[in-house]
Structure 1
Amino acid sequence: MDSYCTLAFNHSVGIKITQRGWRENRRVLMRASDVGHRVLILGGTGRVGQSICRELQRRSRDESVDLEICIAGRNEQVGEEIVRESPSLQFKKVDYRDKDALVAAMKGVSLVVHSAGPFQQRQTAEVLEAAIGAGVNYQDVCDDVDHMEMSRSLHDDAVESNITAAICTGIYPGISNLMAAKAIRDLDAAPEQVTFDYFTAGTGGAGPTILSTTFLLCGEDVRTYVDGKPSIKKPASGVRRVDFGEQVGHKNVFLLNLPEVLSIAEVYKVPNISARFGTAPDIWNVLTRFMACAVPKKILTNQALIAKFSEFIGPLVRAVDAIVGGTTAMRVEAVGSDGSSRSLLYGHEELSECVGIAAAAFTWHLLMSKNLPKGVLYPEELLSDPDEFEAVLESGVRTAFDWKTFTEKSL
């Protein structure tokens, strides 16, 4: 049983986090040192980057840790406005595609956090390459399979440079990986199946970035696993209806090509894995499925063109967002070979906020832990210590309005 939560093993239970457990898990991450740290947040002028920054500032203040934060991005005007509102921050104008500027910005940095999405259709992992060259620990919120695989190919270089590079450490993927890992570990038998189901109303407050990401994913074949073998599906296919809890309800979701499918298959050898996503209003789901079926792949994989299209329909999207809100929900289920299952359910009021809070939980761990493994690591590989695992998961879901576990025993 988890040290920080009380679980009643009924069909449907909630996780209750005790104050004693919160203090114990906080000490796990505070045991490293009280020496100051310097963090560089690439994409720090964007919504996710700003959310990461706010959460790090809160933890630094609440836990009396000396933390220096530098936000970096291409939008100098926004960067200067952020610094005016929060004078303790610094801003550097940096284009992540400029290697010399990247390396210069990393001087004296403890950790670089890469939140400058979208990650789809990028040809190189230039920020990670720069971090390896500079000998600086790295973190990203990548949600793209190809970029994840490019990063993993640099594992030996990261080990040789003696750095820790934590990839795909947002909300999904990221916290969702830890949810799957927890569900798998809590099964009474070997895992037979893992399903990831996600819902975000509108753009979740993330604006054009998530819109571009979804449209770009419409141009990618979906990798799933069936009976231990890779199985390629069409994007936006395999529609099913999923219960995301009382506050969100039942929503339609469809297959997308997401990195957590590959990482869970690699780390836990689960034979059957898939990931699905859906949004609201349902007309956006219809549009997404139409694009996946009717629009030529060469258009859907053109990042510049998709970015322009996302900006063009931006006013309509913002109007819809104002009506539907930005609620995000995740349901991750693991099924054992004996038929038993464990599901974890998460809900939050706004995607752009919860991504930042989730990512900052990993950031804090990367800054405070004394025993970080070296190389390019998935979220589920980064946290081998059970106490550190629970501390990061607890911090990452801190502001969730829904956080429950469901258990079904085999007959």
Structure 2
Amino acid sequence: MTEQILILGGSGRIGSSVAADIAAHTQAQITITGRDAIAGQAVGDRLGPQVQFLALDLAESDRVREAIGQSQLVIHCAGPFPYRDASVLKTCIELGVDYLDVSDHRSFTCKAVDYKAEAAAAGVTAIVNTGIFPGISNSMVRRDVEQLDQPERIHLSYVVGGSGGAGITVMRTTFLGLRRPFEVWRDNEWQEIKPYSDREAIQFPAPYGRTGVYWFDMPEAFTLPDTFPEVKTVVTKFGTVPDFYNYLTWSVAHWWPSSWLRNSAVIEFLSQVSHRMTDFTDRFSGIGVAIRSEVTGQKAGEAVRCCSTLVHENTAIAAGYGTGTLAELMLAGKLKKPGVWPVEQALPTDLFEQIMESRGLKIHQSWEPIQSNSPKA
């Protein structure tokens, strides 16, 4: 029997990248959904005979439930996730359907993990925060942590070229992340941080080089401390190229009144303007992504630093790999863990390494001793 996969929001750029990866590596029949029937049908036609389009709005709860009930796996790509509740996941649990999502916001992740016990009781494997960041990035951290006897500090940073090849939903998510301070795990306590603060120059692999990154509210800022409770500090920072986008975003976060950022019309205005700007600058900046995971701690009684880096020329395609690989493993019966999990708690490192190699993704990992007079990075 051919597996049936439902990708909610699958006609968008991230969702269609997920569909393309699954179609290339499995025999599953894939249904992608969206609200724009003409655009969605065009995406379905482009992706080939394994993929069909279904016009569907998440507000149509009865139709959504019917579509979920006809599937073995549901993949939720219909952001922006700060606006979403966990109703899709709840329906999957009720109907016994496995679940993935590309969620990228703390508030949604908190809602999802509240259903951990219900999913476990129903035998449903649900993995949240898949994609590239969060997603592949979390598994890179887990791989680095496992190299040390006693991990102490995680520093996870990302840089994206222009739009990253993603749609306007990603722009909305970025500006929604500027609305209020958030908590981070630092020096063994939760501390409040202002978004897009504390610029730090990080050395990424070519073509990015030394690039500025800033504190940004990501789900892994609180899932990683939960996954690795021995770690004293978790840093999550984000930046873009060209660098002037960082300064524009910083000015919005620090100079604009908070009441403006809580106004949905203002968020939409900023998102539309940014989307038009990146349509132009993408041709110069590219649409790629670089991730740098650095874990410091103890190994054999010595202070060491373990660092991993990944670069891909297209952020949306890389996100498709992150989610598509998990779907492939779940369909093959290689990844079954009832409950609701962030990806670093669900995917063992050996499977992560195998599935990344199958996509040709090269993750460079190195570790070195930390001299006693060297500051922590």
TM-score (norm 1): 0.85
CA–CA distance in structure 1, aligned partners of residues 259 and 92 of structure 2: 32
User: When the two structures are aligned, how many residues end up with a matched partner?
Assistant: 366
CA–CA distance in structure 2, aligned partners of residues 222 and 109 of structure 1: 37
2:11 to 30, 45, 68: 45
CA–CA distance in structure 2, aligned partners of residues 353 and 220 of structure 1: 30
CA–CA distance in structure 2, aligned partners of residues 312 and 341 of structure 1: 41
2:221 to 261, 281, 304: 261
3-state secondary structure, aligned to 2:132: coil
How far the C-alpha of 1:247 sits from its partner, in A, is 2.5
Amino acid at match of 1:215: F
3-state secondary structure, aligned to 1:346: strand
1:278 aligns to 2:239 (yes or no): yes
1:153-164 alignment to 2 at 5 Å?
153-164=114-125
1:215 aligns to 2:178 (yes or no): no
- Distance change in 2, residues 1:365/1:100 (3 Å): same
- Distance change in 2, residues 1:183/1:367 (3 Å): same
How far the C-alpha of 1:90 sits from its partner, in A, is 1.5
Structure 2, unpaired ranges of 5+: 372-377
2:319 to 332, 335, 355: 355
Amino acid at match of 1:136: V
Partner residue in 1 for 2:2: 36
1:113 to 75, 78, 87: 75
Partner residue in 2 for 1:130: 91
1:270-349 alignment to 2 at 5 Å?
270-303=231-264, 305-337=266-298, 338-349=302-313
3-state secondary structure, aligned to 1:340: strand
3-state secondary structure, aligned to 2:131: coil
CA–CA distance in structure 1, aligned partners of residues 86 and 117 of structure 2: 15
1:242 to 173, 184, 202: 202
2:64 to 84, 97, 102: 102
- Distance change in 2, residues 1:265/1:313 (3 Å): closer
CA–CA distance in structure 2, aligned partners of residues 172 and 371 of structure 1: 20
How far the C-alpha of 1:207 sits from its partner, in A, is 3.1
CA–CA distance in structure 2, aligned partners of residues 114 and 326 of structure 1: 23
How far the C-alpha of 1:97 sits from its partner, in A, is 2.9
1:390 aligns to 2:353 (yes or no): yes
CA–CA distance in structure 2, aligned partners of residues 358 and 109 of structure 1: 21
3-state secondary structure, aligned to 1:174: helix
1:147 to 105, 108, 118: 108
Kept after mapping to 2: 8 A contact 1:99/1:130: no
Partner residue in 1 for 2:341: 377
How far the C-alpha of 1:296 sits from its partner, in A, is 2.6
CA–CA distance in structure 2, aligned partners of residues 350 and 362 of structure 1: 19
3-state secondary structure, aligned to 2:134: coil
How far the C-alpha of 1:38 sits from its partner, in A, is 0.9
3-state secondary structure, aligned to 1:220: coil
Kept after mapping to 2: 8 A contact 1:207/1:318: no
Amino acid at match of 2:312: H
CA RMSD of aligned residues (A): 1.8
Amino acid at match of 1:101: R
Kept after mapping to 1: 8 A contact 2:171/2:274: no
Q: What percent identity do the matched residue pairs reach?
A: 30
1:194 to 133, 154, 159: 154
How far the C-alpha of 1:364 sits from its partner, in A, is 1.0
3-state secondary structure, aligned to 1:291: helix
CA–CA distance in structure 1, aligned partners of residues 310 and 72 of structure 2: 31
